Amino acid sequence: MSLRRRERLTGWVFALPSLITLGAVIAVPLGFSLSVSFFAYTFINPSFSVFLGFENYMNAFSDPYFWNSLWVTLKFVVLVVSIEFTLGFIVALMLNRDIRFKGVYYTILTMPMVMSPVAVGLIWKMLLHPDLGVLNYFLGLIGIEPINWLGDPTMAFWSVLMVDVWQQISFMILLLLAGLVSLPKEPFEAATIDGASEFQKLFYITIPLMKPVILAAVVIRTIFAFRTYDLIYVLTRGGPGVSTDVLSYFIYRKTFMGLNLAEAAATSYVLLGVVLLLVVFMFKIITSERKVVG
């Protein structure tokens, strides 16, 4: 056996345990749910006896609630990611200068990120309570009528959005800040000598240099935003009506309330497809970026 082959074998031996584990916890369930999505597999009759082909997918597509959920999800994802990015970038820029109490700000920023979404949901549910919530209490002090934060179909969507931004924006800020901190300082000094204003430096240097970091941050947050589930579960259970019924919650309902495992599996794969498409699209943008010379 040549050295090269022996080395390769050793590599496989070392990789095997983790490959087996990954296979067991990822590939097996994925494969299982994929096959489920093609059969009449329910909790009442959990068997692969009746092959349906794409019927489960057709059923999902013809369900108006599915389209509602897809629309709510897209709206939610696009809005949270753009709000978090815009606000996050501004905050990151503010923190990326010589200011006092940086440590304090970092600590405050990290707190929401390390909290469990369920806990965050419960806390906000209390804060947003129409009668007992502290938010309406303060609004009352300045003479504003109490708002039904989670009970009103339009308001509920925005409330969930706000809570999600509150919790997830730290991630965006920290990621962008890490990028800003590692930018070389000489291009900025060269631009300063040339008389560029702070805004011109932002547009001509910071943003172009930050592009890879920005795209990475946006991609990661997009993927996570598609999977938002626990917050919805705690705050609104998809309601009122179906106004906050994001796809992941819709799938949960189909599975555990509708007990229609097969159609839920089909919907999951549609969600996966949507996310993949978006991510592939974003990665295309990243990789078509010219290599940045440091």
* Interaction site with other proteins (CB under 8 A): 184, 186-187, 189-196, 200, 204-205, 208-209, 290-294
Pick the closer one to other proteins by CB: 31 or 208.
208
Distance of closest approach, residue 100 Cβ to other proteins, in angstroms: 17
Pick the closer one to other proteins by CB: 28 or 190.
190
> Tokens for 292?
């940045």
Pick the closer one to other proteins by CB: 173 or 180.
180
Distance of closest approach, residue 179 Cβ to other proteins, in angstroms: 14
Pick the closer one to other proteins by CB: 3 or 193.
193
What are the two backbone dihedrals, phi and then psi, of residue 39, each rounded to the nearest 5 degrees? Answer: -120, 170
Q: What is the CA radius of gyration of the chain?
A: 24
Pick the closer one to other proteins by CB: 142 or 293.
293
Q: How far is CA 239 from CA 142, 243, 259, 285, in A?
A: 29, 5, 20, 36
Distance of closest approach, residue 117 Cβ to other proteins, in angstroms: 38
> Tokens for 123?
């806390």
> Tokens for 71?
């629309």
Can you list the alpha helix ranges (DSSP code H) found in the chain? Answer: 3-22, 28-36, 55-61, 64-95, 102-114, 117-127, 134-141, 153-181, 186-193, 198-201, 207-226, 230-235, 247-256, 261-288
**Secondary structure, 3-state, 19-81:** HHHHHHHHHHHHHHHHHHCCECCCCCCCCCCCECCCHHHHHHHCCHHHHHHHHHHHHHHHHHH
Pick the closer one to other proteins by CB: 64 or 294.
294
